[in-house]
Amino acid sequence: MKKSISNISPLLSDKLESLRVLLVDDDEFVLDFAEDMLSELGIKTVSRALDGHAALTAIDSALRPLQLVICDLTMPGMDGIEFLRHLADRNFEGGVILSSGSDKRVIKTVESLVHAHKLRFLGTLQKPIEEAALLTALMDLIGSAPTDGYGLIQKLTPEEIRTGLDAGQMETFFQPKVRMADRRVVGAECLVRWRHPERGLIQPVAFISVAEEYGLIDDLTMAVFRKAMTHLGIWTRQGHDLKISVNVSMDNLNRLDLPEIFADIAGQSGVKPDRVILEMTESRLMSDIATSLEIITRLRLKGFGLSIDDFGTGYSSMEKLKQLPFTELKVDRTFVCGAARDSVARAILESSLKMGHALGMSIVAEGSETQEDWDLLAALGCDEVQGYFVAMPMPADEFIAWKTRWEASN
């Protein structure tokens, strides 16, 4: 079993390498440990401070602005909470990660404080810090969703998105799905990335909801679906037995000929619909329920797999399960990541598994980040796993090489 993240794409490792980080903790041992971990991730510029005063001095005297502070809460001298206030006073624009051994309620309070200060909060890490959790928090910083000074995601304008679509700048990344029973790579989820000529690689949070709102989501979904089918066709002809999942927005379910369009595109790439899973989440209300239901049902009749995404988040709920012919249930990552230590998450995970299995669905856990997550999922009888613990989303041309390495290491 791999002990940590097995894939960081070259793009991300470049960004990690150039990150300027400050570690603040009164415990030298913790500092050593964190510094080792950062250096394993390829981060080269790490400075350290033993309390808030020293940290502020480091920030004020840095030649180039620091981009990330990882800060303990309890320290003699100036503690973490006071330090955060001073950071906010300085309009610190970098990311802030809290590391703490304190109990959850204290952390929740501090987190709301960080938000109130309008600092760019990336998350809280429980001590001892785990590499996967650290990397996840870092993703917000290095995954280049354009952000304003407060770290809030800056959405792209519909005009920009239109231009990007017309210029063919949407790329497909793939994140492996692995079957727990035998660790076989059964497929991958296709995730869109926008290769912007000036802004670099843009994450979907910055443009999917805008595309939905401004009527651009049909074009976006088609662009992604075409690329996904092209790759899947090639991989299948190379002898790889894979299913590819593509995200479909509820706003795409507006034209009755959608099942034919998808089937045609798949066919042009030599892909059978039963190799394709369409993931849906009710992120917005279905505007015309009768039409949506008809389309979903006919997609299933054509042979497409149907996955209910983000299950448990309130958008995708029990009701849908009974109404619609879904073949797969994807438990949202909030109930997966860290579930071994969170009794509420674990309970939701367990009941989702029971229910899904009772309805004959395959259960996929998304957002599995650690060995602990994996072990719990295996014990609970989850079918498939997707998450940073297995691999991060990667460009299409890295996928088969990754798969080969994964299979060789099993």
Q: Which of 26, 310, 369, 383 binds Ca ion (CB under 5 A)?
A: 310
30 vs 224, which CB is nearer to ligand C2E? 224
What is the pattern of x (binds ligand C2E, CB under 6 A) and - over residues 157-196? Answer: ------------------x---------------xx----
Task: Please report how close the Cβ of residue 182 comes to ligand C2E at its closest, in angstroms.
Answer: 21
Q: Which stretch binds Ca ion (CB under 5 A): 180-188, 264-272, 277-285, 402-410?
A: 277-285
8 Å CB contact between 312 and 365: no
| Residue 312 binds ligand C2E, judged by CB under 6 A | no
Q: Which of 282, 310, 383, 384 binds ligand C2E (CB under 6 A)?
A: 310
| Residue 309 binds Ca ion, judged by CB under 5 A | yes
Tokens 């790579």: give the residue.
185
92 vs 399, which CB is nearer to Ca ion? 399
| Residue 130 binds ligand C2E, judged by CB under 6 A | no
Q: Which of 7, 124, 144, 203 binds ligand C2E (CB under 6 A)?
A: 203
Query: Distance between CA 355 and CA 348 in Å, rounded?
Result: 10
Task: Please report how close the Cβ of residue 29 comes to ligand C2E at its closest, in angstroms.
Answer: 28
Task: Please report how close the Cβ of residue 203 comes to ligand C2E at its closest, in angstroms.
Answer: 5
8 Å CB contact between 61 and 13: no
Q: Which of 7, 67, 247, 252 binds Ca ion (CB under 5 A)?
A: 247
Query: Distance between CA 245 and CA 276 in Å, rounded?
Result: 6
Query: Distance between CA 174 and CA 191 in Å, rounded?
Result: 6
Q: Is 123 exposed, middle or buried (0-12, 13-18, 19+ CB in 10 A)?
A: middle
Q: Which stretch binds ligand C2E (CB under 6 A): 7-15, 157-165, 258-266, 363-371?
A: 363-371
| Residue 247 binds ligand C2E, judged by CB under 6 A | yes
Query: Distance between CA 371 and CA 349 in Å, rounded?
Result: 17
| Residue 279 binds Ca ion, judged by CB under 5 A | yes
The helix/strand/coil state of 226 is helix
- How many Cα neighbours within 13 Å face the side chain of 189? 29
Q: Which two tokens stand for residue 245?
A: 């999942």
Q: Which of residues 317-346 bind ligand C2E (CB under 6 A)?
A: 333, 337
| Residue 307 binds Ca ion, judged by CB under 5 A | no
Strand-strand pairing, 170-179 and 45-49: unpaired
Task: Please report how close the Cβ of residue 170 comes to ligand C2E at its closest, in angstroms.
Answer: 8
H/E element, 22:
strand 20-24
8 Å CB contact between 273 and 312: no
Closest-by-Cβ residue to ligand C2E is: 387
Q: Using CB distances below 5 to 8 A depending on partner kind, what does residue 136 bind out of Ca ion, ligand C2E, none?
A: ligand C2E
Residue 279 DSSP symbol: E
| Residue 245 binds ligand C2E, judged by CB under 6 A | no
* Cβ atoms within 10 Å of 176's Cβ, excluding its own: 25
The answer, yes or no, to whether the previous bond of 128 is cis (omega within 30 of 0) is yes
DSSP notation for 360-397 = T-EEEEE---SHHHHHHHHHHT--EEESTTT---EEHH
Query: Distance between CA 306 and CA 321 in Å, rounded?
Result: 11
DSSP notation for 48-98 = EESSHHHHHHHHHH-SS---EEEEES--SSS-HHHHHHHHHHTT--SEEEE
What is the pattern of x (binds ligand C2E, CB under 6 A) and - over residues 266-305? Answer: -------------x--------------------------
107 vs 222, which CB is nearer to ligand C2E? 222
Task: Please report how close the Cβ of residue 235 comes to ligand C2E at its closest, in angstroms.
Answer: 18
Q: Using CB distances below 5 to 8 A depending on partner kind, what does residue 191 bind out of ligand C2E, Ca ion, none?
A: ligand C2E
Task: Please report how close the Cβ of residue 8 comes to ligand C2E at its closest, in angstroms.
Answer: 13
Task: Please report how close the Cβ of residue 239 comes to Ca ion at its closest, in angstroms.
Answer: 27
Q: Provide the binding-site residues for ligand C2E, judged by CB under 6 A.
A: 136, 175, 191-192, 203-205, 208, 221, 224, 247, 249, 279, 309-310, 333, 337, 366-369, 387-388, 393
Q: Provide the binding-site residues for Ca ion, judged by CB under 5 A.
A: 247, 279, 309-310
